[in-house]
Amino acid sequence: MIPKPIPLRNEELFKLAMRHRSAAANPVADSYERLEFFGDSVLGLVIAQYLYEHHPTWDQGMLSKAKSSVVQEAPLAEVAKRLGLDEFIEVSASEEATGGRNRPSILADVLEAIIGSVYLESGLEVARWFVLEQLHPYLMRISGGDVSPNDYKSKLQEVAQSFWRQSPAYRVVRESGVAHEKRFHVQVIFENEPIGEGQGRSKKEAEQDAARDALGVIERFKRARAEAQPPFSQ
């Protein structure tokens, strides 16, 4: 049964959108990859048009940053999880054993495949309504001008310069997956020591994920140091 918030009636199309290549007899014809490719373009168009129409004073740079912050892996995976799509994803036994059903990259992919499916069945207007309805919280978050709420690299850069007067470095430590589902694994480095790790569908996403991890490490360190200090006494 197709989850109610999804305006899709074709059960076979829904099943195709949920099938990872690892569970497909024919990865081209029987997996979500082609639908995901198509849905990614529909998603980009809908968000770009929304931002263009609702923020007439934003220049190209602002529009580009805002779009990137909305259509990246993390928000899409959150929406897919909220819709309960993880319960319908079809993966191989080996993918299941490694947590593939809850992997952010796969969750983001199936949401894009659903968007492509909705467009194919009902056209652009229904697809537009679905995209804007599901991504509304993220669009509202950037409406105040914070066009890069998930720009952890910039936040880490500010913290690093403030406390240590130096910039972090990023290095790709591993690439995995087939060409269409390439995963980049990145470490963020301070003084030749890794303090954060991340992964993503692109180097940019992996670096953001690593920066987010590093910020968490720094915050935990600062909190532990503050708790360890004796209380002030007269």
Q: What is the CATH number of the domain that holds 190?
A: 3.30.160.20
Asked if 136 and 181 sit in the same domain, the reply is: no
pLDDT of residue 2: 93
pLDDT of residue 230: 65
Active site residue 40: yes
Contact (CB, 8 A) for 7 and 13: no
Q: Which of 133, 91, 108, 114 is nearest to 8 (CA)?
A: 114
Range of the domain at 158: 152-228
pLDDT of residue 109: 95
pLDDT of residue 125: 98
Catalytic member of 33, 36, 40, 213: 40
Where residue 89 sits, what CATH number does that domain have? Answer: 1.10.1520.10
The one-digit pLDDT tens for each residue of the chain (234 residues) are 899 899 999 999 999 999 999 999 999 999 999 999 999 999 999 999 999 999 999 999 889 888 988 998 889 999 999 999 999 999 999 989 888 888 888 999 999 999 999 999 999 999 999 999 999 999 998 887 677 767 788 888 888 888 778 889 999 999 987 766 688 999 999 888 899 999 887 888 889 889 989 999 888 888 888 887 766 544
Q: Sheet of 169-176: strands edge to edge?
A: 169-176, 183-190, 193-200
Q: Which of 50, 35, 106 is nearest to 76 (CA)?
A: 106
What's the structural domain count of the chain? Answer: 2
The CA distance from 137 to 117, in Å, is: 23
Asked if 121 and 199 sit in the same domain, the reply is: no
Q: Which of 143, 170, 194 is the last residue of a domain?
A: 143
- For residue 1, is it within any domain? no
Residue 210: CB partners within 8 Å, gap ≥ 6? 170, 186, 187, 188, 196, 197, 198
pTM beyond 0.85: the answer is no
Active site residue 73: no
Catalytic member of 78, 109, 112, 213: 112
Asked if 181 and 122 sit in the same domain, the reply is: no
- For residue 114, is it within any domain? yes
- For residue 68, is it within any domain? yes
